[in-house]
Structure 1
Amino acid sequence: MTTLRVAVAVAALATLLGGCGDSPRPTAPAPGYDQSAELRDALGTAAEALQAGNYTFVVASPARTTEGIVHLPSESARITTDAVELVIAEPNRWVRRSADGPTWYLVDSSRVRPGSDLALELTDPDLVGLDTIVAATTGLTGDPKTITGTVDGARTQSAYLNFPAALPFTANLDGNGRLAELDIETPAGRWVLTVSGYGEQKSQTAPTGKIRNLPSSGYARLNG
C-alpha cells in the first residue's frame, strides 16, 4: 500500500506549577523512571487511533499539499493533491486530474502498477504512515501532549518522507491522546501533517458528473 510521507520541528517541556502560597515543589522522577518509554507509548497510542479508519488529514510539504478523508467502515476514501483527486469506494476508484476539468475517469484496478499512488488500498487504515514514522523516532522529550525528538528518515517508507538523515520533529496530541499535528523539519523545509475529524467522517461515494473509462495513456501517466 502506498502511504503518505510526513515531517517535524521544535520542542516543548512540561512544567508542573502549583497554586499560590505553600504549594509543594515538583518531585523528581523516581530512580529508574524512563520518560522516553512513556512518550513512546503516547506516540504509539496516537498511531493506533488511526486504525479506526475514520478521520481527515492534511500533509503540507514544500513540494505539494495532500488532503484526505478516510472512512474504513464503508471501505471508502478521498485523496486530493494539487494535481489529482482520487475517490475510492471499494472495489471501484475514480481519478480526476486538475487539467481534465470536471471529467472523472473510472480506473481498472487490474491495470494499476503496484506501488503507484493509484494502487492505494484501505487494507491499512493508517494512510499517512504514522506507525512507520513512530517506529523510527528516537531521543524523545517533552510530555504526553507535546513530544519532540528525531525521526530516522532512512527508516521511513512513507511516500513523502524518505530522507537518509535524522530529522527533528514535534508531535502535538489532542485531549484524547490522538495525533493533532506532526511537524518535521526536512532538508527542503517543514513537512506538517494535521489529523482531525476522528470518528466524524461519512462514506465517500462515486463522483457525479461526466465519467469515462481511463484510457491507456492515462494509465501510463498515472502509474509513473
Structure 2
Amino acid sequence: MRRRIITALVAGAATALLAGCGALGSEPSAPATTAPPSAREKLAASVPDGSAGRYAFSFKDGESNTSGVVDPKSQRISMTTSYKEKDLGFTLTMSYLVIKKDQWVKISFDKKLPGLPQLPKKWLRLDTSKVKDDPFTNLEDPDPVAAADLFDAIVKVSEDKPGTFTGTLDLTKATVASIVDDDGLKALGAKAEAVPFTATLDDAGRLATIDIKVPGYAKVKAFTHHATYSEYGSAPEVNAPAASASQDAPAAAYDLLNS
C-alpha cells in the first residue's frame, strides 16, 4: 500500500462571542468578535477526526482504484484496491479486513498467467510479523486518504462558493499522501510545487471530495487523483469473516505482499 493512515490535523477557530459590562456610568464595551475562518482553516477543519463515527472513503488515481470503510473508534478498516497492470495485461485486486490486531487479506487476479501465484479464494488470516511493511499500524488515526497531509501542502486556496474550494498544492510537501512517487516528483520538477486541486464539503462542513490534477511526466499521462468521503456515521460495519470463509495465509501470500 502506498497510502499510510496518518493522524488528522484539525484546525478551526472558536466562534463564541464574549460580551463584557463597562464600569458604572461608562459605555458598555463592544462584544468581542471572531474573524471568520479562512478557506485553508475550513479545509483543515473538514478532515475527519473520528467524532462522526465510521465513514466510507475512496480514491482513484492512475491505474488504481481503492474504496473502503474506516472506523477509528473501534479500530476497524475494510479496504479494497484494484490495480491494472497494463504491461502484463492483468488486474490485481487486494481486499483487507483489519480489526484491531487481526488482519485478513483476499488476493485475486483477473487472468491466469505464468508466474502469478494461485491463492485460495477465502479470506487469508495474516501473521503480521511476517509482513515487512504493514500499512495498518495506527488504526486510531481517522484519515486513510491523507487529506490532512494534502491540505497542509496548500500553496494557495479560495472558496469560490460555499463549500467549494480551488487552489494549488505543493506535492513535494505532501509526502504522506504520496500522490506521486519520488521519481515522479523529480520528473515534474517545479510543476510539482503548484498542482491544481479542488475540494468540496458537505452541508455539515465535512470533507466530501478532493480532486488533484497531476500533469503528465516521463511516460505517465496526466491524471486526476479523485478522493471521496461519505456516509459519515452510517457506513457499513466492518466485521470479521466467518470461520468457514477464512484460513491461514499460505507462504505464497506473504511472498506477494513482501515483493
Matches within 5 A, 1:84-99: 84-99=94-109
Instruction: For 1:73, give the aligned amino acid.
Output: K
- Evaluate the alpha carbon distance shift between residue 101 and residue 108 of structure 1 in structure 2; reply closer, same or farther with a 3 A threshold: closer
Cα shift at 1:4: 7.0
CA gap of 1:4–1:168, structure 2 versus 1, over 3 A, is farther
The alpha-carbon distance between structure 1 residues 3 and 74, as it changes in their structure 2 partners (threshold 3 A), is same
Shift of 1:101: 6.2
State the alpha-carbon separation in 1 of the partners of residues 72 and 39 from structure 2: 28
Q: Which amino acid aligns with 2:128?
A: S
**TM-score, length basis structure 1:** 0.76
Aligned twin of 2:70: 70
1:155 to 147, 167, 173: 173
Partner of residue 212, structure 2: 184
- Give the number of the structure with larger relative contact order, counting CA–CA contacts within 8 Å between residues 6 or more apart: 1
Q: Which one-letter code corresponds to 1:129 in the other structure?
A: A
Deviates more, 1:170-179 or 1:202-211: 202-211
The 1:120–1:40 alpha-carbon spacing in structure 2 relative to 1, beyond 3 Å, is same
**Which consecutive aligned stretches of 4+ in structure 1 deviate over 6 angstroms post-superposition?**
none
Q: Which residue of 2 aligns with 1:60?
A: 60
Q: In the aligned structure 1, how far is the partner of 2:226 from the partner of 2:255?
A: 30
Q: In 2, Cα distance between the equivalents of 1:98 and 1:128? A: 23
Deviation string for 1:2-34 (max 9, x for gaps)? 4279xxxxxxxxxxxxxxxxxxxxxxxxxxxx9
Mean Cα displacement is larger for which, 124-133 or 203-212?
A: 203-212
Residue 45 (structure 1) aligns with? 45
Counterpart-to-counterpart distance in 1, 2:5 and 2:202: 21
Q: Deviations over 1:84-127 (max 9, x none)?
A: 0000111101000123463111011122213x44x454131111
Q: Determine helix, strand or coil for the equivalent of 2:132.
A: coil
Do the aligned partners of residues 128 and 120 (structure 1) sit closer, same or farther apart at CA in structure 2, a change above 3 Å counting? farther
State the partner residue of 1:14. Answer: none
* Partner residue in 2 for 1:196: 230
Among the aligned pairs, what percent are the same residue? 30
Correspondent of 1:103 among 97, 122, 147: 122
Gap regions ≥5 residues in structure 2: 7-34, 83-92, 110-118, 186-191, 216-221
CA contact under 8 A between 2:50 and 2:73: conserved in structure 1?
no
Give the distance between the partners of 2:147 and 2:258, measured in 1 at CA: 24
In structure 2, give the amino acid aligned to 1:3: R
1:137 partnered with 2:149: no
1:11-63 CA distance string (max 9 Å, x none): xxxxxxxxxxxxxxxxxxxxxxx99x60011011111x343352101101121
Whether 1:123 and 2:122 are equivalent positions in the alignment is no
Bigger radius of gyration among the two: 2
Q: Which residue pairs with 1:17 in the alignment?
A: none
SS in 2 for 1:43: helix
Q: CA deviation at 1:160?
A: 4.8
Question: 2:200 maps to which residue?
Answer: 172
Contact 2:5 / 2:139 at 8 angstroms: preserved in 1? Answer: no
- Amino acid paired to 1:90: K
The residue type paired with residue 133 of structure 1 is L
Q: Deviations over 1:173-217 (max 9, x none)?
A: 111111111010013311100110111135311123432211233
CA contact (8 A) 2:39 2:157 kept: yes
Paired position in structure 2 for 1:3 = 4
* Number of positions where the alignment pairs a residue of Structure 1 with one of Structure 2: 192
Higher helix share: 1
Q: Is the 8 A contact 2:3 2:145 kept in 1?
A: no
Letter in 2 for 1:46: S
Which residue in 1 is equivalent to 2:25? Answer: none
Counterpart CA distance in 2 for 1:113 and 1:141 is 42
TM-score when scaled to structure 2? 0.67
